[in-house]
Structure formats: structure tokens, C-alpha cells
A and B are shown apart, each in its own frame.
Chain A
């Protein structure tokens, strides 16, 4: 992208060495920020475009289809729809930057307020999901790579491919039917039982943390009881991806000569795998985990619908079905922005942690 085109060196180079690399780092950072800004602008352009292609005339929606032409025209001007598209886009960007996402038709509240209320629920579920995915996915990937070609490797491969083939909503439904209805191992839909709802004062919006702050163990236990199944469903999808990538990274390392050297020296296989081969893949794994986490925020749309989870996914689906475009575009913007943010952060982490990329 435009990162290397914007590299204009400012000021003379006073000292050699440190300053030069300092400058270079500054320029790289500036280029990176430009990329991030352009990506966010692109996201805004896309949501703006989607808002424009809606086949509903926004003016008619306000004045009704019996309004005289003069009224129609006046409202059109008031809404700023007579201005050129670029001006409209600029004012849209201004609105979004000042936090004005419009008002939701279905809830009657400002979209930003709604989103701030529902987002923590999604964050909580996705975070537990990624923890499950990492705790299971990384060891599975390492095991698969260290026993390449064995039946265990094949089994892990099939599990990984299932992660690309099972519809999230189906997995959630079957999970509910089996683990909640039949076995009663986990709680049903929702974040807590209805009689416990609203007992804990929301501080962070994350129910697990709020109930810990309030030292309400009953709510905490019940929340875990309800969270575990949807988070495991989400975790399964990140597990599949993380295990697959871990396996491929590990195979790369295990074929290197230093691994052979270590083995020849008589280092035990366990040490070879965990101390030698696993260390260098930690950095690329961070990128994978970041991508996967961002993907989970998106994947939670389907899971939340199944589990009546009061998060952003549920909010979005309700808005979609009611053609509540302000809410749809607001949710798209927020999920998109978080998605881009996590991607870029894992990018930065990669650059900071990997000595070769510095």
C-alpha cells in the first residue's frame, strides 16, 4: 500500500548511526499509521456505500409517500442529500468520528449507546473462546507435527478441516441439544438464569469480572455455567485454525539443521520439541492468534443468535431482520474497526518481537 510512497525524509541527518535508524523507524511508524488510517477510511467508504445502495428512499421514509413535492424537496435539502457525494461522505466521516452513529429504529436509542451496552458480552465470549482455542490448539498442533503421518496426525488434520466445514449455528444448536437439554452439563441460552439477571451492578460490562468485583459467587458460577458452551463452540473454530498453523510452523522448524544437531547431541525429544523447535514459532503464532481472535468476534454473530447471547451479533441480526440500517452499519463499523485494530496490533507485535523484522 501507500507506506513507502509517503516516506519523505525531513531535516538533515545530524549524526550517523543511531539517528539514521531512529529516523527510519519513525518513517516506518508514520507509514504504518498512514496505512491504518487509509484502511479505516476504506471501511467508512464501504459502509457509506452500503448505506447509499439501500433501495429505500431515506426522504420518503421521513415524509411518507403522500407528501407534496415541496415538502419532499425541503426535507431532502435538510437531510443534506442534495449535496455532492464527496461532501456527504465527509460529513459522514465527521459524524462517525464524533460518535454519531444515528438512532436505531428498533430500540429507539442512539446506536453508539446500544453498541457500548452489547459489546462487552461479545468480548467476554470471544475472549474465553480464544483461550480455549489456544490452550488446546497449540499442543494439538505440536503433537501432530511431532508425530507426522501417524493416525493421531491424521485425526488432528480432520478435526482441523472440520473447523472449516461445520456451520457455527449448527454446532451451537447440536451442542445445546446434547449438553444442555439431554445431559444438563451446562446452562441454557442467555448469560445467566433470569432470576439472577441484573443483580450485579455493571462496572465493566463483563459479567464474570463484575460478579467477582461484587463477590457474588452465585452469579459468577452461573455465568460460567452459561458461558462455557458458546465459548467452547467458538473455541473449536479457533482451535482448528491454530492447530493447523502450529503444525505447519513446527514442521518447518523440525526440518531445520539445528534440530538435527540437537538430536545428535542427545537432547531428549521432548526438549528438542519444546525448548528448541517451539521457541522460534512463538512470534508467528501471535499473529495467528490475533487473526483468530478477530475472526471469533465475527464468528460470534451466528453463535450469539443460537444462544440468545445479548452481544453485538444478536444486536446485528435483529437489526438486519428489521432493516434497521443505522444499527446494521454501526455494528459493521465497530466489528470492522476492532477487526482491523487487532490485525494491526498483531502486526506491530510481530515487528517488535521478531528480531529479523526489526
Chain B
């Protein structure tokens, strides 16, 4: 192990591969020294594991109704109790992890690259391209996100796919801003000038050299945004515009438990704890990542 470690932290790496792995190793090491980041990482790993192994972790079929066992309090048989149709809440929360994971992953995959490309183009080319793109970005940024997402879903129609699209439409502008700011700091640096002098096209400069440099701040931003994305998705589910029944989406589950909050508190409360835990996990990890990857802007926000 010692030799592998030496190879990883070598000051003069022999290959780009070694340099890259070494960087990952250092970041990983620094993250491990940040207790909140470790907790965040554990929560997110747990979320992914729960989503992957849901059939094994769940004690019951999340969709099976058993009217004889409706609204039972938490017990050894039903760890989080049962809902108004006798479904096991623990099993539904575990399966809900899949829905949450799919939503955040899809929003990240749709919104982050879109924002990245728009921001890099805007920053690299400047001039009127920059003005128009950033003008549009600023308009989106100055509008309330949740309301905009609600209006989009109302127009597109309720459903989990439309909820994902609506959230993605409202979250790309933040990424475009970050990517543009990063691009501006690299644009005039000497190594970019050197690549250009070697005859590289602007496509090559951007794809090969500018985009990769933006990734670390993008990762921070995406991780920090995850909590907001989860909350918006849950909110849409709660209002009835997101995931539709009988899907065990956490927000929709809270909405159904609303009528029983006074006497059967567990129906609405349990999925809420799941949302809080996962959102906190992303916040902790995002905070930690920012401290490690971007020390100059630590303490901000």
C-alpha cells in the first residue's frame, strides 16, 4: 500500500494518468479530514445503496395494499408504520430513494452540461454573443425558480418526466454563470495562448482545455444545488404535479399523510425525514468539496 501511496503523491508524475489519480487521491484525503463532508458522503453512498438494493432492503412490497393493516404505528413488523392503504412506509421510503436519485441525476445531466456549454461559449467569445447569452441567463436568474417550475409543469402536464424537465429549465442559468466566470479567468492565460499558437481551433481549445478546467467548480455548484432540486421535486410531488400515485415519491407520500398528521403522525413525518437527511447529505458534501477544491471562496455563501 505504501508504494501505491508514494506513486499517487509523487511530485513529478510520469503520466497524465498518474497526475490525475494523484489529484483525486489528494482531494479524497483532504475530504476525509472534514467531518461534515464525511457524513455527507456516507449519506449519499447510503442513498445510492438503498436505491440499488431496494428489493433486498425493503421488508414488504411497496405497492401491496393490506387494508387490514392500515395506519399501524411503527413496530417491529413495520419499522415506520403503515399508510392509509396498509402499505409499509419503510419499504416505500426505500423505493423512493430510486425516484429521488433518478430525479437529481437527470436534472444534473440535463442542466449542468447545458449551462456549462452556454457559459463557456459566452465567456470565450465575449462581445455580442456574451451579451445575448448572459442577458437570457440573467433574466432566468432574476425570476423565482419554484414558481417558474410550477408554471412549466402546469403547462406541460403533471408527471415525473415533466417535473424533471421543468426543474432542469430553471436550474441551468446558475451553471452558465459559474462556467462563464471560470472561462474568463482562464481565457487570457498563457497556456491557452500557447494552445492557440499551436493552431488549435476554438472548438478544440474549449473542449480540450477550457471545459475540463470548469469541472471542479461545476461539481461544487451541482452538489450544493442538489438539496434545492430535491426540495423542488418533493414540492411538485406534494402539490400533485410531480410523481403520480402509486409511485412512492417522498413528497407525494407526505401529501397523502397530510390528512392523518394529527393522529397518525408517522405517515407524513417519515418521508420528510428521508428528504431532510438526503438534502443535508448533499449540503454537507457540497460544503466540504468547496472547502477542498476552491479554498479561496470558502466561508462564502
A interface residue numbers (CB < 8 A to B): 1-2, 5, 38-39, 42-43, 46-47, 50-51, 53-55, 161-162, 164-170, 173-174, 176-177, 181, 244-245, 248, 251-252, 294-295, 297-299, 301-302, 305-306, 316-317, 319-321, 323, 325, 328-329, 331-332, 335-336, 339-340, 343
Contacts of B74 in A (CB 8 A): none
In the complex, A320 Cα to B162 Cα: how many Å? 14
**Residues in B neighbouring A317, C-beta threshold 8 A:** 239
B280/A161 in contact, CB under 8 A = yes
The answer to whether A53 and B156 touch across the interface, beta carbons within 8 angstroms, is: yes
Q: Can you name the residue of chain A whose Cβ is closest to the Cβ of B271? A: A170
Query: Which residues of B are interface residues toward A (Cβ below 8 A)?
Result: 131, 134-136, 138-140, 142-148, 150-157, 227-228, 231, 234-235, 238-241, 251, 254-255, 258, 261-262, 265, 268-269, 272, 275-276, 279-280, 283-284, 287, 299-301
Task: List 12 A-B residue pairs with CB atoms under 8 Å apart, sorted by A's residue number.
Answer: A165-B227, A165-B275, A165-B280, A169-B235, A169-B255, A173-B254, A244-B301, A301-B147, A320-B153, A328-B150, A328-B151, A331-B147
Q: Give, as a whole number of angstroms, the nearest-CB distance from A153 to chain B.
A: 12
Say whether, besides A248-B299, A325-B154, A335 and B147 are in contact (CB < 8 Å).
Answer: yes
**What is the predominant secondary structure among interface residues of chain B facing chain A?**
helix
Given A161-B280, A167-B254, decide whether A47 and B131 contact each other with a Cβ distance below 8 A.
no
- The answer on a CB contact under 8 Å between B231 and A305 is no
Q: Decide: A167 and B235 in contact? CB cutoff 8 A.
A: yes
Q: Given A169-B238, A332-B147 in contact, is the A1-B283 Cβ separation under 8 Å?
A: no
Chain B contacts for A47, CB-based, 8 A: 151
Q: A42-B135, A320-B239, A332-B147 are in contact. List 7 more A-B contacts (CB 8 A).
A: A39-B138, A51-B155, A161-B287, A177-B265, A301-B150, A317-B239, A325-B154
* Cβ-defined partner of A321 (8 Å) among B135, B156, B240: B240
Q: In the complex, are the beta carbons of B261 and A340 less than 8 A apart?
A: no
Once the chains are docked, how many angstroms separate the CA of A177 from the CA of B269? 10
- Cβ–Cβ contact B276 & A166, under 8 A: yes
Contact B239 A305, beta carbon cutoff 8 Å: yes
Enumerate the 10 nearest inter-chain pairs by beta-carbon distance, A residue then B residue, closest first: A42-B139, A165-B279, A170-B272, A298-B144, A165-B280, A332-B151, A161-B283, A54-B155, A50-B155, A181-B262
User: In the complex, are the beta carbons of B144 and A167 less than 8 A apart?
Assistant: no
| Cβ-neighbour of A329 out of B139, B151, B156, B287 (below 8 A) | B151
